[in-house]
């Protein structure tokens, strides 16, 4: 009896499928990582064009205008990456709370005045991590 080898025609679709799945997974991870950085990280903190105008300026520049609450983190990316490893405490699947305080600016839309108000805080943040990198900020 001879040993039969699998036909290349049968293996090729499986290899292509595995490659496509790997590429798709990497692309979505990259998109989430970049979106987190573009929408939430502002380091060094940019000065506002006018006093008390930081939120209006940043919401427009970052393309998040229209959300009721949004937070900007004033820390280097390296520090935020640390929250996903030794600088954070695992709180839930994929979520980590920072051990150290981070300076953040929270922008809230005020319906009475029709614009954003800002408040600065220094507190522990909770972020979602994927492959030990931050991809989501939890308000």
pLDDT computed for residue 20 by the predictor: 47
Q: Strand locations in 10-82, DSSP E?
A: 69-73
pLDDT computed for residue 32 by the predictor: 81
Which tokens hold the place of 122? 């220094």
57, 56, 64: which is closest to 40 by C-alpha? Answer: 64
pLDDT computed for residue 26 by the predictor: 53
pLDDT computed for residue 55 by the predictor: 93
Q: Mean pLDDT for the chain?
A: 82
Residue 18 to residues 11, 30, 33, 93, Cα–Cα distance (Å) = 11, 19, 23, 26
Q: Which H or E element spans position 30?
A: helix 8-40
pLDDT band (50, 70, 90) for residue 37:
very high
Considering only residues 14 and 99, tell me which one the structure prediction assigns the higher pLDDT.
Answer: 99
Give phi and psi for 78, each to the nearest 5: -60, -40
Residue 32 to residues 77, 84, 98, Cα–Cα distance (Å) = 14, 15, 20
Q: What is the pTM of this model?
A: 0.77
88: which strand partners? 98
């Amino acid at each position: 009896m001879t040993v039969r080898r699998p036909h290349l025609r049968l293996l090729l679709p499986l290899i292509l499928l595995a490659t496509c799945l790997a590429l798709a997974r990497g692309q979505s991870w990259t998109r989430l990582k970049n979106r987190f950085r573009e929408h939430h990280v502002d380091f060094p903190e940019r000065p506002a064009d006018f006093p008390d105008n930081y939120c209006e300026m940043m919401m427009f520049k970052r393309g998040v205008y229209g959300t009721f609450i949004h937070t900007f983190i004033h820390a280097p990316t390296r520090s935020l990456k640390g929250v996903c490893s030794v600088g954070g405490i695992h709180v839930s699947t994929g979520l980590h709370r920072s051990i150290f305080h981070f300076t953040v600016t929270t922008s809230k839309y005020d319906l009475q005045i029709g614009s954003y108000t800002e408040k600065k805080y220094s507190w522990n943040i909770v972020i979602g991590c994927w492959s030990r990198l931050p991809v989501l900020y939890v308000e």
